[in-house]
Each structure stands twice: as structure tokens, then as C-alpha cells.
Amino acid sequence: MSPTRRHVVIHEDDVGRNHSANVAFLKFFEAGYCTAGSVMVPCPWFPDAARIARNNPELDLGVHLTLKSELNGYKWRPLTGTAANGLTGPDGFFWDNVPGVRQNARHEAVERELRTQVQAALDAGIDVWIAIWEGR
């Protein structure tokens, strides 16, 4: 890359969240539009995203650390379980908003969950880099 030219980097967020996110990420990659993304490890389609990453080692895939599950009717749980650690609401799934996490999650539970997500990505063969985004 030249320091005097402008470059566009297309990064796909929420890989692993659902099947369509994985399909779109792979199609964009195959078309040459996107080589970077971040995977949500606790989500149901993470194993498929990990397979895509293993089959395409040139992908730049990191971990989108996940502590909430905001969609109605489509939820995920902490990898560390749903014990009384404040990471989950009464339904046993991650809270659906940041205030729920902030008001209820114990710091040690948050750290353990995030470390577990990164380790799960590493164990699945993803060469991890981490970007932190705090949604409000």
C-alpha cells in the first residue's frame, strides 16, 4: 500500500451471528471485496464461520467480543454458562441491551466470558486479533 494513495478496507461485522452473515462474508471475500471481519463466538453459526476461516487462512478474522443479544426471538448464551453471574437476564440469555449488562454483570464474570470467547476462537483455528466496540 502506498502512503500517498487512499485505500478502502471493508470489514464485515457479526460473522457467525447467522447463516446469511457467513454466506455474505464468504461471497464478498470470493469476489475480492472483503478480506476482514469479526466473528461473534457465542452465536449459533460460529462453527460455520470457524470452518470458513480454516478453509481461507488469508482472511483477517478477529473476535467481536459479545456480552449482549439484542434481537427478539433469536438469542445466544454465554459460553461460561448461565449461573448467577449477572451475564444473563431472567430468560437465561445475554441481556438485550448495554444497561442490562452494566447493571447486572459481575466484573469477574465478564472477564471470564471474554477470555473464554477468545480461547474458543483460538481453539477453532482462528488467528485472533481483537477490536472492542461498545454499542449503546
Work out how many domains the chain is built from and give that number: 1
In a domain, 34, yes or no: yes
pLDDT score of 132:
52
Residues near 62 by Cβ (< 8 Å), separated by ≥ 6? 36, 37, 38, 39, 128, 129, 130, 131
CATH number of the structural domain spanning residue 27: 3.20.20.370
- Average the pLDDT over 108-128 and give the result: 93
Is the pLDDT score of 54 beyond 50?
A: yes
- Domain range for 30: 11-131
Could you tell me if 59 and 37 are in contact, meaning their C-beta atoms sit under 8 angstroms apart?
yes
pLDDT per residue as tens digits for the range 2-18: 788 887 888 899 999 99
pLDDT score of 136:
44
